[in-house]
Amino acid sequence: MAAGLPDNSLELRSTVTSDGRLELSLQDVPVPTPTANEVLVRVEASPINPSDLGVLIAGADMATATVSGTQERPIVTASLGAVAGLAARIDKPLPVGNEGAGTVVAAGESSAAQALLGKTVGIAGGAMYAQYRLVDAGACLVLPPGATAKDGASSFVNPLTALGMLETMRREGHSGLVHTAAASNLGQMLVKLCLADDVPLVNIVRKSEQEALLRTLGAVHVCNTASPTFEADLVAALKATSATLAFDATGGGTLAGQILNAMEQAASSTATEYSRYGSAVHKQVYIYGGLDTSPTILTRNFGMAWGVGGWLLTPFLMNAGAEVVGRLRARVADELTTTFASTYTREVSLAGMLRPDAFNSYVKRATGEKFLVTPQALP
Amino acid sequence: MAAGLPDNSLELRSTVTSDGRLELSLQDVPVPTPTANEVLVRVEASPINPSDLGVLIAGADMATATVSGTQERPIVTASLGAVAGLAARIDKPLPVGNEGAGTVVAAGESSAAQALLGKTVGIAGGAMYAQYRLVDAGACLVLPPGATAKDGASSFVNPLTALGMLETMRREGHSGLVHTAAASNLGQMLVKLCLADDVPLVNIVRKSEQEALLRTLGAVHVCNTASPTFEADLVAALKATSATLAFDATGGGTLAGQILNAMEQAASSTATEYSRYGSAVHKQVYIYGGLDTSPTILTRNFGMAWGVGGWLLTPFLMNAGAEVVGRLRARVADELTTTFASTYTREVSLAGMLRPDAFNSYVKRATGEKFLVTPQALP
């Protein structure tokens, strides 16, 4: 063990109990010693992404949450509606937190590991809501000079998702994108990326201030679902961009179907011959989030050349292969504090995550609100 | 012109008028003379498929239909709810009828065309609700010896759709199928095909007599949506078959989502590790028909590895390429009166199609009811 490191440290755990409760708590875990190609990262910053909340909250009704324990070690307990689908995690205290950044404070013997000592790195792979994380040296993204752990906290999920959307567009033969919940951190990255890569992008937001924010970033097409002219605006933007691939973070309700119908209207607006099956242009919506957990409702006036499906970052990266992933990661490092800069509205310690004023806020998944966890901060 | 052929013949036309009416009538058209590689087919039998009704009826409300004209030349007029999406066909009298069969009564000079003279052939490509049809010799499927035009009337759409489902399954890496509206002529073909090819098939029907019919054909897995145990039966059948690809003829309502959820339950029933994103098994439903035109409602409890989309025979065949299509067509010819045998519940002449007792029945698209048009029959 490197000099000055503690024997034990704190790690957040989420447990679904067999009697139908969610329990969030901080556990004491030993600080491991890296060997071979491993490094030990002191986690200094980790975001709360929508993709973390599934494991963290497990669908519990946080309106029922009570907090016990101490100031340093709060214990949150809440009711779960049902444990269906959760059988495999019952009574197993799961670590949480997909990504984060921090300082390499100890390293195994390999030269690659040793070379990282003292470096600030971005890491991914779960269990980041913790004070220390042991990872393989190859998993570390060395941050550019001057970048802080806070700068690098979100260097995987959102940047690689935005880049993955563009890769998917090119692979599947589309030439423009539609993005919903477009004012999110991810959406802002996508606006900057599409401008840089000259890819037409249609942004869908719910509020006029979100529209204004995206326009300051240079977004050309922004459609507001709250506007009375939303559907016509969307068709006009789709005619202008010929975008036939959408990434939808909401999932539920009628939005995916509205996008397909608007794409079909744009595609068939120049048709001269009647086809009872609609245009031959393939229109695709990938649902990559579940901000709206209500059913997806598709009113099928969009012909037969269409698809809706799930899209996830991890299978995309596995399919894309090491070379592509390496190229995407290098771009993230290069543009970490520009294209891929994230903004946070609040910082909390590990214990702070378990206080009602925090969890009642981050469980809302509100676009524009983003928490940063700082595991080294005082409780 | 070959001896004994008339100068003119009858052809059914469907017109959407600019003032919002559907008009169905019989037109006198010249009987053409084949040249080069063309042949003239005297159409003797042509089915009314669900895929014909879109062009024929154009979504008109047939409860408002009135019939004028004469016994020989009826004219049907009905109200259209809206002409949105129909702009490209307004005031154009469209021919109808995707496929049929008959006798080659005249041929162009090419040896391929001449070789077909007198042969009974199956043909596709539209305008089959007519007494004569000019086609390229290469488009003809020569029926096996002894097969009648009635035997060959449905030798394209349903047989190639059933074979296309199996091809799609193999191409996309699935090993079993689910089929809805499974008691249809197409469904019966699929049962026989899957038995012959040793492909596990889960049949979904709505009535116990449909279940009985499929079991007499040898179907192993038949789930009845009217049964109180439908959902459990479906999960059990999916566990037994590992089928992860469904073809759904209905399209609307909750059925596609129920299938995906049952596939996910089957896939995750053996999971030992919790995944918040559900199983990694890709679950796909292709909607290839629209028997239920209401919205598709997906209650997404099936993880993130899923897709729903449209599937159409013509783009499938275009993608598959000439070699595959040739192989599939040869199989249809070989097994025309066995695997691919169709049954009809009623025969009508061209004029007979335009009588209320006929159209009020075939517009219902009832599974198990099938009309055959016999254009040479007396009005």
Instruction: Supply the ipTM of this predicted assembly.
Output: 0.89
In this prediction, residue A2 has a pLDDT band, given cuts at 50, 70 and 90, of low
Interhelix angle for A322-334 vs A157-171, to 10°? Answer: 130
Going by the DSSP 8-state scheme, the letter that residue B316 receives in this structure is H
**Nearest CA to A156 among A172, A178, A141, A177?**
A141
Considering only the beta carbons, identify the residue of B271, B293, B298 that sits closest to A88. B271
Q: Is A55 on the interface with B (CB under 8 A)?
A: yes
Give residues with Cβ within 8 angstroms of B336, minimum separation 6: B143, B144, B147, B151, B152, B155, B159
List of residues 6+ apart from A161 with CB closer than 8 A: A186, A288, A313
pTM of the model: 0.90
CA B161/CA B312 separation, integer angstroms: 8
| pLDDT tens readout for residues A34-65 | 999 999 999 999 999 988 998 999 989 999 99
The answer to whether the CB atoms of A305 and B310 lie below 8 A apart is yes
CB-neighbour burial class of residue A227 (10 A; exposed 0-12, middle 13-18, buried 19+): middle
**Residue ranges of B 218-257 with Cβ closer than 8 A to chain A:** 251-252, 257
Per the CB < 8 A criterion, the answer to whether B332 and B141 are in contact is yes
Minimal-distance CA residue of chain B relative to A273: B88
B304 vs A contacts (CB less than 8 Å): 287-288, 310-312
Per-residue pLDDT of chain B (379 residues; tens, 9 = 90+): 456 899 999 999 999 998 899 999 999 999 999 999 999 999 999 999 988 998 999 989 999 999 999 999 999 999 997 766 787 889 999 999 999 999 999 999 999 999 999 999 999 989 999 999 999 999 999 999 999 999 999 999 999 999 999 999 999 999 999 999 999 999 999 999 999 999 999 999 999 999 999 999 999 999 999 999 999 999 999 999 999 999 999 999 999 999 999 999 999 887 767 677 888 999 999 999 988 989 999 999 999 999 999 999 999 999 999 999 999 999 999 999 999 999 999 999 999 999 999 999 999 888 778 999 999 998 8
- Out of B251, B303, B309, whose CB is closest to A307? B309
Judged by a CB distance cut-off of 8 A, whether residue A308 touches chain B is yes
| B171 inside 8 A of chain A by CB | no
* Among the partner residues B86, B278, B308, nearest to A274 by beta-carbon distance: B86
pLDDT in tens, A151-160: 999 999 999 9
